[in-house]
Chain A
Amino acid sequence: MTDQTSNTGQAPAEDRVQGIGCARKRKEDPRFIQGKGNYVDDVKLPGMLHLDVVRSPYAHARIKSIDKSAALALPGVYAVLTAEDLKPLNLHWMPTLAGDVQAVLADEKVHFQMQEVAVVVARDRYIAADATELVQVEYEELPAVVDPHAALEPDAPVLREDLAGKTAGAHGARTHHNHIFTWDVGEKDATDRAFDNAPVTVKEQLFYPRVHPCPLETCGCVASFDKVREHLTVYITSQAPHVVRTVVSMLSGIPESKVRIISPDIGGGFGNKVGVYPGYVCAIVASIVLGRPVKWIEDRIENLSTTAFARDYHMAGELAADETGRIKALRVNVIADHGAFDACADPSKFPAGLFHICTGSYDIPVAYARVDGVYTNKAPGGVAYRCSFRVTEAVYLIERMIDVLAQKLGMDKAEIRLRNFIKREQFPYQSALGWEYDSGDYETALKKVLDAVDYPALRKEQEDKRARGELMGIGICTFTEIVGAGPTRNCDILGVGMFDSAEIRVHPTGSAIARMGTITQGQGHQTTYAQIIASELGIPSDEIQIEEGDTDTAPYGLGTYGSRSTPVGGAATAMAARKIKAKARKIAAHLLEVAEDDLDWDTDRFKVKGVPGQEKTMKEIAWAAYNDLPEGMEPGLESVDYYDPPNFTYPFGAYLCVVDIDKYTGETSIRRFYALDDCGTRINPMIIEGQIHGGLTEGFAVAMGQQLVFDESGNISGNTLMDYFVPTMVETPHWETDYTVTPSPHHPIGAKGVAESPHVGSIPCFSNAIVDAFAHLGVTHMTMPHSAFNVWRQIHELGLDARDAA
């Protein structure tokens, strides 16, 4: 990658403005490297109190009594709130994004370990923590249901007594007291027929464990209610501040115009910070009741245990094919463990998210997928951990299954992909499960990777090693994502369409400020959005300020998750800039006394065709916009755009991983990981590469070690960083990156979004590599995480670790 940041006098005009394609340094960095970030826990308001939460030790229990007298008697304690206190406000339950309800504080029953039972508000965080210990709660323990299959047994305990008698939920019929929904898509009968007639079929049970996004900053907020102005301000760790404003207004009855939500600097989100959590609601209620600012910051154990989870999908995958490896049909049945309340963060109409991208990069004529959501005694959630909604699960399914098919046929795992790819000339491509893929060139991507790593040599080496009894695996993953939710005709959250927005103001002296409905959490929006505007308007990106996250100033948007910032917010930014440019063209024509058609645009100015020197720069036009306008034109140079995308975008990539496994310890060494990504137009290559490194590392964590483990009583074991795997520098492999560029035809600048691809694509790539190391021994699948112990168990089962008698 070339560094285009030099800003010398000789730099070409395109470099001067530092627009699209420039690896400019980040505008966010100076404050972060000097300790001048402003995260929620840094917010300190006069008179601020601290909230802490009393949590259930049981996964399933009836609350017999709560005695808060000892806690209230502790000096420095201002309030102790339980469901009884929230009931008169009708805030003891709250609606979830998935059309269910969730207890804000446990109402008569607890449904998962660490559930919120009461909150304490005190002068400082130490007193608040002390007081939580003094709240006496008497429980009657009930049998816990941890396994979603067991939850569907006829005699399974009833988990959600509040839903008694409800035979339908937000997504149709409920067939059992612990059943949430059945959602299916595709042609079931035609798929069944294709399986009946196919010469080759494969089936595999794939369990995708429950994991957690675990951003380094936990969730928290500072709620401040001004009783005189009847105005609520909330500083909050939210990936969707505008949606939070709407939810808070609906819950509290405070007019939306008197609710201000501020997402300041966010210490990583990865899906963890999409939801509205009980801690936020309680801090807001406490602030309203007490008239003082109230801060709630969860600790790491609370974060891993309660504020959402990801995955927990039990998938049965099946492929039908002919003898040459051409896939004829895909069939999938999923049991989805949603925990105690259905609080999945998905577009309203899609209870399994965009899982039906599970036909992947392959031209599969017919398919059927069914997902059943189930209640268990575990925390609610189901967020998209660095991915678009359920896309990681879908990609894992198809990328594992195609390997299973290759092994059944004795085919090479690259060859089977090349044989089944959707061809470049088939785009836009209509998938069997209803998506229209915008653009792609999968074959070129995979071949580039195979060449880069000398794939035939690797397979030869593997053959030699296998002959010597050594374990070496080669994993391939050729994924397609679906991101940028989404078209408002089928995507909404709580009824609000999933558009996004940008507002740009160009000042008289030619600099600009722009505000978006998205919110950066490390993606570098303050850098990259400015580059889009710079390319569109010719204003140097250093002179463009980007602001997000304050609902009082930014236009309404649905936020940042599911790789939607560039596909939706970035499109709104380009379109808003084009509205300004259209006006600027009229002003330029007026100033130069020519017709608009006589003008050409060149980087940062309009030039009169064929008349050298007759030109007006954007700077000159900006000044004129405030004092010298064509007759009848309104002054000023600003615009706003709410962008409703015509389609999703479909980034793709080809990854290859080489592993060596120690057959005595089960330890895996990642020898090589080569990641080629195609995200369409590349805005800032430096930031793209950084996002890919980060996503690969999070994928590595999921594949190799992360899992939220529960015992049969529903006790969560492994909810600290002692047990929950977050890789350090020592374990993390070295990453090699590469790219191709296939622009999106429907996006204003052709960009598709990138930051989640490496997470989505790398996880099956690691699994495929691990399983491939055992493929010659008949192993078709191994359940994640591929920790040394889990891998050793496979080795031991095969007897590979037997040492020769000396």
Chain B
Amino acid sequence: MAKHHITLTLNGETVETLVEPRELLIHTIRERLNQTGSHIGCETSHCGACTVDLNGESVKACTILAVQANGAEVLTVEGLAAGGTLHAIQEGFMQEHGLQCGYCTPGMLVRAYRLLQENPNPTEDEIRFGMAGNLCRCTGYQNIIKAVQYAAAKLQTTAEAA
């Protein structure tokens, strides 16, 4: 199958690769670009394990073709920590025990990262609705909600100090 040349900004770096026209973005990211943090749990856009941030929106990378992402800015879990410092949402998940097996975690983190930009101070209900596209089989979600609240508080404190 003839391949297409695409260019992406992946976690701040410009990358180029050849993809099949039918290739899913999640496969391109994981297998061609070797960023395996984002996972595959269903390939039908229900579980959210493959969630990435694409041009400032949360997108399930199992239901978008790589060619559709040509020219896009893509952020995955590997790009959350900056300069060796964990992002507040990563810290929150660790502090509040927001993960167990870790499989849903990259998608959860990337979705929570975006949610907190859309709504910096969400209520518990807003978190529950805002992250309903990401399934977790281990935690029962309660500590994930606490982790998002932890990050929201920390980001606000940091913003006020700045």
Measured CB to CB, the residues of A under 8 A from B are 25-26, 28-37, 39, 41-42, 44, 125-126, 214-218, 265-268, 270, 299-300, 521-524, 686-687, 689-691, 693-698, 720-722, 726, 728-730, 732, 734-735
Contacts and interface: CB of A to CB of B under 8 A. Distances in A.
B46 A722 contact: yes
B37 A216 contact: no
Contacts of A693: 139-143
Interface in B39-54: 39-44, 46-47, 49
A270 B137 contact: yes
A739 B26 CA distance: 43
Contacts of A729: 127-129, 131-132, 134, 141, 144-145
Contacts of A42: 30, 36
A299 B43 contact: yes
Contact of A35 (B35, B140, B141): B35
B101 A522 contact: yes
Interface residues of B, number: 58
Contacts of B36: 35, 39, 41-42
B100 A522 contact: yes
A730 B100 contact: no
Across chains A and B, which 9 residue pairs bring their CB atoms closest together, nearest first?
A: A35-B37, A267-B103, A32-B102, A522-B101, A693-B140, A522-B100, A697-B140, A721-B46, A35-B77
B46 A216 contact: no
A266 B141 contact: no
29 contacts: A29-B94, A29-B102, A33-B90, A34-B77, A34-B86, A35-B37, A35-B76, A215-B101, A216-B135, A265-B102, A268-B100, A299-B43, A300-B41, A300-B43, A524-B100, A687-B97, A690-B97, A693-B139, A693-B141, A694-B100, A694-B138, A720-B46, A721-B42, A721-B135, A722-B46, A726-B135, A729-B129, A729-B144, A730-B128
A681 B77 CA distance: 37
Contact of A521 (B22, B40, B101, B145): B101
B127 A690 contact: no
Interface in B16-62: 20, 22-23, 27, 30-31, 34-44, 46-47, 49
B81 A34 contact: yes
Given A39-B103, A300-B42, A523-B100, A726 B137 contact: yes
Interface majority SS (helix, strand, loop, mixed), chain A = loop
Interface of B: 20, 22-23, 27, 30-31, 34-44, 46-47, 49, 76-78, 80-81, 86, 90, 93-95, 97, 99-106, 109, 127-129, 131-145
A696 B36 CA distance: 30
Given A29-B94, A267-B102, A522-B100, A721 B140 contact: no
Contacts of A730: 128-129, 132
Given A214-B137, A216-B137, A266 B38 contact: no
B99 A33 contact: yes
Contacts of B43: 299-300
B39 A25 contact: no
A39 B49 CA distance: 13
Contacts of B102: 28-29, 31-33, 37, 265, 267, 522
A687 B105 CA distance: 17
Contacts of A215: 101, 103, 137
A140 B81 CA distance: 58
Contact of B78 (A28, A34, A126, A735): A34
Contacts of B105: 32-33
Given A299-B43, A729-B128, A36 B23 contact: no
B60 to A, nearest CB: 12
A522 B100 CA distance: 4
